[in-house]
Structure 1
Amino acid sequence: METRKGDDMATRGIGAKALSERGKIAIRPTMPWDVPGMSRAERVIAFLEDLPITAGTLAGTTMKIRTWQRKFLMAVYAEDAGGGRPIRTAVLSMARKNGKTQLAAGLALCHLMGPESEQRGEVYSAALTRDQAAKLFQEMRAILTAHSELDDRANVIQFNKQIEVLTGEGEGSIYAALSSDAGSKMGLSPSFVVYDELGSAPNRDLFDALDTATGARKNPLMMCISTQAAADHHVFSELIDYGERVNSGDIIDPSFHLTLYAAPPDADPWSREAWAAANPALADFRSLEDVERQASQARLVPSKESAFRNLMLNQRVSAASRFIHKAEWDRCNAAPELAALAGRECYAGLDLSGSRDLTAFVLAFPGEGRSFDIVCQFFMPEANIVDRSNEDRVPYDLWARQGHITLIPGSTIDPGFVAQAVMQAAQTYSLQTVAYDRWRIEDLKRELGLFGGNVPLEPFGQGFKDMSPAVDMLERSVAEKLLRHGGNPVLNMCASNAVITRDPAGSRKLDKSKATGRIDGLVALAMALQVSGRHEPDAMPSCLLELMD
């Protein structure tokens, strides 16, 4: 028996239905999104509201776009005078469980086979793992199964997590679920990408691969929907920071849109106002009872507070407890005037690393009112810098290109480069002393001797006795906004990673062994601040002051 194209055995890949089962349902004469007079955004909304809800208490009904969702869609799909859509990157950030998966699935279908589709388009969902990326595919598949008209035009390949459009709008278009293996994504030409939970991505490789691949399309769109990342240096944090500058008018970029739902840093985390700020669907399809339950637990169990703030309040805080609060640290990010520091008195902290790690050299310049200007230098071996960036999930390679890290040729730290930086600081500023950890200091002293310089060095113990007053001074300086650290991204990373331990007497020290990342810069800063106090002139006795009067 012959098998002809279109017969039951003719399929488009493992897991697909036979093509002969397609094309049997009559298409409505006028689709809800084809009504004359509609704007582009209204057509998108009409398409979404034609889609069925497949799970939960509202299963069996169709989507109803809420006011907050409508506002986002109207902004993203607004047209310019020429009828084009200016927005190329759209970011939507909110707390967990606010319906992002169904919205993202509906928009992916809209670009695949709805009013935003194009002939032979490429639509992708991206996520940390293939299983996570496939969640959006499963939601799209469930919607198609419940929408016979759209399902009749599509070929769903379960095994490969792909969807093909056979007829009608978007004919020849494909959808696929992608994971973070960016190396195999360089040949793609996306017309629409939705990146699910970009805030949890270990690096920016997949985002960059997809973002740069859209250049071949006339009207591409990259949409990132996620809860905030924990760190400032994360790619999603960079997108949010950029978007806030666009929203404030500091940057003019009509191709970028940000909608951010997050509780303010100084909000009462246990108030309903804070919950509502981060959960636009609160008391609608986002359970108020569930948020109340999680808030009650976090309030009673301090170790859960950070995770509650990140996931439920959409604040940029790590899920682990940290030594310095981000909001306080960020209030100290004023930049010192480098040119005005030449010749000024300063004190340094030097935290020498192992052969392959981060070395930190931090200068503290005392100013008026017990304030300090902070200048940092960081060093790492050049070899395998990309691998270390991936291992630590930190963009060392990018920071090196930006000048925040000095890369030393080879695979180990050559102390000669560090010694040269110390000598240059001594020649440029009035360097009073360099506090150092005794680790590998003999190598540095030997190199300093080769330069013929006389740099004042001062050992600084890393135990509770010496570090406890340094931690106290650092904490006080941050809390009282006495630092101007300029927002150095490497120092920011160290501050966000820092944790402390206590001895039985209550003394504290910065603990590298318990930190989730490198804290060398903050250790060097604490030492610099503490030795500045050691070298202050003794206060004049009150009896001498009276005699002078």
Structure 2
Amino acid sequence: MGLRGPGAKPKGKRAAANDNRRETLPWEAEGLSRLERVIAFIEDMPVTQGKFAGTKMKLRDWQVDEFLAPIYAEDENGRRPVRTAALSMGRKNGKTGLSAALACCHIVGPEAEDRGEVYFCAMDKAQAAKAWAECKAMLEGHAELSERVNIIRFSKEIEVLDGQGKGSVLKALSADADSKLGLSPSFVLCDEIGYWPKRDLFDAMDSALGARDEPLIVAISTQAKDDTHFFSEMIDYGLKIRDGEIEDPSFHLAFFAAGPLDDPWDPATWHKANPALGDFLSMEQVERMAMQAQRIPSKEADFRNKLLNQRIDGTVRFIAAREWNDCNLGPIDDKALEGRECFGALDLSAARDLTCFLLVFPEEDGRFTVLPRFFLPEFDIEGKSDTDRVPYNVWARQPDARLTLLPGKVIDPALVAEYIADETARFDIRAIAYDRWRIEDLNRELDKLSVTLPLVPFGQGYKDMSPAVDVLEVTVAQQKLNHGGNPLMRMCASNAVVTQDPAGARKLDKSKASGRIDGIVALAMALKTAQAHEEEGLPACLLAA
């Protein structure tokens, strides 16, 4: 009693229909390695839709070699080191079938543990229901496994009644719901995580893995559209591991994508992001989509993101992501910059928004080193992260992000003034360009500290900002900038858009931007102030005045 529930099929009828049940299943054969058991299980699962429906799954070499083999490899103690795995490739490469088979493997197959908790997580309720339905169809189509599970449709759950994994449950959850707390997952599969609206569900699952002996969380998705999405951070982390920059045996990335310089219309490029192309992904379909993307500009970005697995959202930005990333010339040590000549800019925000104080340091080779500092109120930083859809709460814990959370619900200008005053003692700041808006509050606090700063007013209209926009654009294009990969600066760069007046003058426009651009506005002002000082050989404060 209690195991069945509304929507469950009568066991008797199902058992009578399965007269060809095997006593020993393929993955139960003796002498198999852990990986071989997983492969045997997946290849015994039925294909439930598409042109191969009615047959059993057949894993391709790339699925095994690039994805499964590294995940289920064991160390010298017979344990699986990998705890987090990501697979990213173009759409329609068999992600759904592989995802469902893996979830089944961890609830009722060789990777199952008694009273395990398996969660199939998707972007929204509809996608979660679709993913769950694929698991359900696979188990119902398997003669032996269908007898061991109880499928409860109304709550999207699957329970294991006996055998390996007895007492385990598989549930479908959606990322658009509230975070799930109090769970103890043994296996989590995140479907199309690159399109999740927020990271709460992933973080809740990831933080709950510690209660299990060998937990595993797997993310399978096409790339997110921008650098600030948390799945983009996962991919970047995995690429650093692959390139030997970081050593982390607990993380594995299998990545199939076209390169930034590849010809998007070349079939060889399509194959890079789509290992199943010409197999269970139709070449004819991809050719049709490519032809339309070539002829209809609005379709190109979608084709490159979903088919070529490139990180591109189709919005025309002021700074191309590739150009900005090329200006990450290595880590920045602020202690090594102490005493150096520099030029600053201050972009003050409304009481609750992002404030940026930024310094640029001229280098002998003509480049500039960028040292920003961002401020936000500490109150409800989680809500602020949700509203802006960027992980301020995570960045605040990362020293390299240079984000300071100030106590209270609003930004206290006194605290910002104290920080700037401290910086003037560390660096040789020749000028600090500022927007006149709200500067009176800061000046009042500076007077209290008896601090005099080389503050220089900098207009925000087309007349004053257009030369600054030009300098910023050229500096980035010529890679004469080192921002050190600061994530908030990257966010601001990806959001930045410019507007143009009838005379052709340009300015960075916060009202048109898709998100915060304070760091880029400050950078433009600082670079222009530094350039004016260099060109005229006069104090920047006199020039800007």
TM-score, structure 1 length as denominator?
0.91
Shift of 1:367: 1.6
Q: Aligned with 2:371: secondary structure? A: strand
Residue identity (%): 57
- 2:5 corresponds in structure 1 to 13
1:301 and 1:347 mapped to 2: Cα distance? 45
Provide Cα deviations, 1:129-166, integer angstroms capped at 9, x if missing partner.
22212221111122233323322222111111111122
Instruction: Say if 1:384 and 1:302 are closer, same or farther in 2 by CA, change over 3 A.
Output: same
Is it true that 1:466 corresponds to 2:464 in the alignment?
yes
Q: Equivalent of 2:490, from 492, 505, 511?
A: 492
Instruction: Say if 1:471 and 1:206 are closer, same or farther in 2 by CA, change over 3 A.
Output: same
1:393 and 1:502 mapped to 2: Cα distance? 28
- 1:476 corresponds in structure 2 to 474
User: Given residue 325 of structure 2, which amino acid in structure 1 is its aligned partner?
Assistant: D
The answer on whether the counterparts of 2:179 and 2:204 sit within 8 Å (CA) in structure 1 is no
The answer on whether the counterparts of 2:492 and 2:519 sit within 8 Å (CA) in structure 1 is yes
The answer on whether the counterparts of 1:92 and 1:258 sit within 8 Å (CA) in structure 2 is yes
Provide Cα deviations, 1:445-496, integer angstroms capped at 9, x if missing partner.
2222223233222222222222222111111111111111111111111111
- 1:544 corresponds in structure 2 to none
- 1:341 corresponds in structure 2 to 337
Q: Equivalent of 2:22, from 28, 50, 54?
A: 28
- Structure 1, unmatched stretches of 5+, are 541-549
- 2:543 corresponds in structure 1 to none
Shift of 1:428: 2.4
Q: Aligned with 2:6: secondary structure? A: coil
Instruction: Say if 1:397 and 1:82 are closer, same or farther in 2 by CA, change over 3 A.
Output: closer
- 1:80 corresponds in structure 2 to 75
Greater Cα offset, 448-457 or 364-373: 448-457
The answer on whether the counterparts of 2:179 and 2:200 sit within 8 Å (CA) in structure 1 is no
User: Given residue 293 of structure 2, which amino acid in structure 1 is its aligned partner?
Assistant: A
Matches within 5 A, 1:95-494: 95-180=90-175, 185-333=180-328, 334-403=330-399, 404-494=402-492
1:58 and 1:424 mapped to 2: Cα distance? 67
Q: Aligned with 2:507: secondary structure? A: strand
Q: Aligned with 2:159: secondary structure? A: strand
Q: Aligned with 1:16: secondary structure? A: coil
- 1:90 corresponds in structure 2 to 85
Shift of 1:525: 0.2
User: Given residue 42 of structure 2, which amino acid in structure 1 is its aligned partner?
Assistant: L
Shift of 1:537: 4.5
Provide Cα deviations, 1:177-234, integer angstroms capped at 9, x if missing partner.
0122675632222221111111122332211211222222222211110112233343
Greater Cα offset, 346-355 or 174-183: 174-183
- 1:512 corresponds in structure 2 to 510
Q: Aligned with 1:291: secondary structure? A: helix
Larger Rg: 1
The answer on whether the counterparts of 1:381 and 1:412 sit within 8 Å (CA) in structure 2 is yes
The answer on whether the counterparts of 2:356 and 2:373 sit within 8 Å (CA) in structure 1 is yes
2:398 and 2:8 mapped to 1: Cα distance? 49
The answer on whether the counterparts of 1:435 and 1:457 sit within 8 Å (CA) in structure 2 is yes
- Structure 2, unmatched stretches of 5+, are 539-545
Provide Cα deviations, 1:91-138, integer angstroms capped at 9, x if missing partner.
111111111001000111111112222222221101222221222111
Number of aligned residue pairs: give it. Answer: 532
1:302 and 1:457 mapped to 2: Cα distance? 45
2:248 and 2:334 mapped to 1: Cα distance? 30
- 2:541 corresponds in structure 1 to none
User: Given residue 488 of structure 2, which amino acid in structure 1 is its aligned partner?
Assistant: V
TM-score, structure 2 length as denominator?
0.92
- 1:59 corresponds in structure 2 to 53
Instruction: Say if 1:130 and 1:522 are closer, same or farther in 2 by CA, change over 3 A.
Output: same
Query: What root-mean-square deviation, in Å, do the aligned CA atoms of Structure 1 and Structure 2 show?
Result: 2.2
Greater Cα offset, 399-408 or 109-118: 399-408
User: Given residue 337 of structure 2, which amino acid in structure 1 is its aligned partner?
Assistant: L
Instruction: Say if 1:436 and 1:299 are closer, same or farther in 2 by CA, change over 3 A.
Output: farther
User: Given residue 468 of structure 1, which amino acid in structure 2 is its aligned partner?
Assistant: S
1:212 and 1:422 mapped to 2: Cα distance? 37
1:371 and 1:400 mapped to 2: Cα distance? 28
1:291 and 1:276 mapped to 2: Cα distance? 10
User: Given residue 350 of structure 2, which amino acid in structure 1 is its aligned partner?
Assistant: G
Provide Cα deviations, 1:301-328, integer angstroms capped at 9, x if missing partner.
4444333332222122334232212222
The answer on whether the counterparts of 1:93 and 1:227 sit within 8 Å (CA) in structure 2 is yes
Instruction: Say if 1:149 and 1:340 are closer, same or farther in 2 by CA, change over 3 A.
Output: closer
1:303 and 1:467 mapped to 2: Cα distance? 30
Instruction: Say if 1:329 and 1:176 are closer, same or farther in 2 by CA, change over 3 A.
Output: same
2:463 and 2:311 mapped to 1: Cα distance? 33
Q: Aligned with 2:534: secondary structure? A: coil
1:530 and 1:225 mapped to 2: Cα distance? 44
- 2:63 corresponds in structure 1 to 69
1:11 and 1:212 mapped to 2: Cα distance? 29
The answer on whether the counterparts of 1:11 and 1:19 sit within 8 Å (CA) in structure 2 is no
1:368 and 1:336 mapped to 2: Cα distance? 16
Q: Aligned with 1:421: secondary structure? A: helix
The answer on whether the counterparts of 1:190 and 1:220 sit within 8 Å (CA) in structure 2 is yes
Shift of 1:11: 6.6
Instruction: Say if 1:184 and 1:519 are closer, same or farther in 2 by CA, change over 3 A.
Output: closer
